[in-house]
Amino acid sequence: MIENLRQWLASAIADEKSYNVPAFCVRLGLPPGEAEEAHRSKFRYAQQRLIGEPTDVVINAARELLLEKDHFELSEAVAKIEELGSAQVTSLTRRRLITLFDDAPLATELDHLDFLRQVWPLAEMSAGTDNGSGSMEDFLFQHTVRNDDMTNREILEALGMLECSKARLFAFLKAVTGPEAQMQERQADLVSKINTLLVHDGYRLTEAGKMSGSPIFTVCAALKGSPADAVIAHSLANFDPDQIAARWHTAMESREASPGRAITLARTLLEDVCKWIIVEAGENYKESDDLPGLYRQLSKLLNLAPDNHTEQVFKQILGSCQSVVESLGALRNKLGDAHSLGPLRARPLPRHAALAVTLAGGMATFLVETWQARKTENGKTMS
């Protein structure tokens, strides 16, 4: 990898005028040489300056050069070295990410080339010797505008998405989920699907700001939690990827920084699940119903009421579930952020939020999977 960096750095230096190369190398922290040598071969001159230098000097020289001018291949080589030792996004995850665009446009609100230019310097990139040695811009224009004979998968693979740096990949994910690129419905759906894939490698898209009221996302390290977190996330994403799964992720992210908000979201998550299942079952609920009331209605619908069972152990477990739901409602009233805590009220701590969110997620998953099992038993089509 460092040898590849040396080659690209020498190539970038060789883009300078021959009479500037010696001084340019010195400015980058490399040893001086004779001007005549640079006149004979700029690339070889730079290469000779780099051969004997330690890795840290070469990396620093590359960084200095990139501060002065853009060079796609060199920036990628530097980024890959800087990313060593951090969690990687596997080629399998990258292939699965590409699959999300097999039957959908890269951007619903932008021309595909305008969108791609936000992430890749198409005009500066070579299309490669196999593609005529022209620029990537010309190559993509030929095959996506004039001929329209490339799929999105082929486009992204040609741009190197399977082996590019994480920085480039994350820039693509930020751009492709941006409000300027996607309609609101597509944005929410895409963020949820991408997070379902990224989380396995320890990353996820999180909201970083707003643009005219629409969310802007960036890739961050996923918060580490219990093994149950991934199970809950998967179950809720399958049930409703947009609202309920998103609320679960927001609740998890709020546990440390905003425990009160996390507790409020935990209760809201359970309320949402109860309401959705009740409606899917063809029944109604009152807008005035609180969480315990919604759960009692749903428990009868799903045959989860303790009185419906004769086995003592099941009565105890289901009774405990009911107590958990009622306690979550009470906890939200006491420690959530929906009401002012006042000067004398106890302040929720991250551990309180973690408990509330985990309990709510576990109960929500149990209810969702029980409802899906009931539908299967009744021969209904899974939603």
- pLDDT tens figures, 226-250: 556 777 877 887 777 567 877 887 8
Q: Which alpha helices (DSSP H) does the chain contain, by range?
A: 2-13, 21-27, 35-40, 42-51, 55-68, 72-82, 91-99, 112-117, 136-141, 152-158, 166-176, 184-198, 227-239, 244-257, 259-280, 291-301, 312-335, 350-377
CA nearest neighbour of 360 among 286, 278, 251, 280: 251
The predicted pLDDT at position 211 comes to 92
How much is the pLDDT for 339? Answer: 45
Strands 214-221 and 203-211 come out as antiparallel
The low-confidence residues of the chain, meaning pLDDT below 70, are 129-133, 223-228, 241-242, 310, 332-346, 379-383
Tell me, what's the pLDDT at 260? Answer: 85
The domain segmentation of the chain, as residue ranges, is 2-82, 91-222, 245-377
The owner of tokens 């005035």 is 288
Instruction: Classify residue 236 as left (phi > 0), alpha (psi -120 to 50) or beta.
Output: alpha
One-letter amino acid identity for 234? Answer: H
Q: Which two tokens stand for residue 331?
A: 């906890």
Q: Which helix (H) or strand (E) holds 206?
A: strand 203-211
Q: Which one-letter DSSP state was computed for residue 200?
A: G
pLDDT on residue 242 = 63
* Each residue's pLDDT tens digit, 244-256: 877 887 888 778 7
In angstroms, the CA 12 to CA 24 distance is: 11
Indicate the pTM of the whole model.
0.65
Integer distance in angstroms from the first to the last C-alpha of the chain? 48
2-13 helix and 42-51 helix, angle to the nearest 10 degrees: 140
**CATH 1.10.3470 describes domain 245-377:** no
> Do 81 and 1 touch, CB atoms closer than 8 A?
yes
